[in-house]
Amino acid sequence: MLNIVIFGPPGSGKGTQSARIVKKYDLTHLSTGDMLREEMEKNTPLGKQVSEYIDKGLLVPDDIVLKMLYDYAAGHMDSPGFIFDGFPRTIVQAEALDNLLDKRGIPINVVLSVEVEEKELLKRIVGRGEDSGRTDDSMEIANQRLDVYKKQTMPLIDYYKEQGKIAPINGMQPVDEVFGDICQAIEAVKAVQ
């Protein structure tokens, strides 16, 4: 069992790298952002509810996200491992995830912290918005998402540092090189399993 959290600001390339990790290590990809967008695309009651937050660049409330996590995890208990992408994003979510995994004796092995400078993040997000069609990729909302990241999500770096689980990854490099560094970090934790 291999449990990985990929952590980083919006625009750091978490989604791109997660797709590669899933392929190479045969893990289940749990992206709360993808799950929430799917609900929005299908125009479900939940989708309508969460769009109020996402379109403003705010976090969706913890109880909604945690219910999604529990439902998804329950349906994938036979997986050889998970990559958590865009989750957890608050201390409450991180504690809930630790509780869920500890109960099953399958803790998080490593937290890949993808680091990218702020100027580069904004350039990427706004550039992506031109073809992603994402309603939250405008300059104004991107700035808001970065603010939310700093206030609500960055404290998780210390939370996981205390657990000795952070592997810093330089996300300013080309995609293949970032992936190379990620693989090295994953191999290092696999070696001590």
Point out which span in 19-27, 59-67, 98-106, 182-190 binds ligand ADP (CB under 6 A): 59-67
Q: Which two tokens stand for residue 189?
A: 């934790």
Distance (Å, rounded) from C-alpha 16 to C-alpha 7? 12
Taking CB under 6 A as the criterion, the residue among 25, 53, 72, 159 binding ligand ADP is 53
Query: Where does this chain touch ligand ADP (CB under 6 A) — which range of 7-15, 112-120, 154-162, 181-189?
Result: 7-15
Say whether residue 87 binds ligand ADP (CB under 6 A). Answer: yes
Return d(Cα 15, Cα 7) in angstroms, integer: 10
With CB under 6 A as the contact rule, the residue among 4, 5, 22, 54 that binds ligand ADP is 54
> Contact with ligand ADP (CB under 6 A): which of 28, 46, 51, 86?
86
Please count the helices (runs of H) and the strands (runs of E) in the chain. Answer: 9, 5
| Active site annotation includes 124 | no
Exposure b/e, 17-46, CB count within 10 A at least 16 = b: bbeebbeebebbbbbbbebbbebbeeeeeb
- Which residue ranges make up the site for ligand ADP (CB under 6 A)? 10-11, 14, 32-33, 36, 53-54, 57-60, 65, 86-87, 89, 93, 136, 145
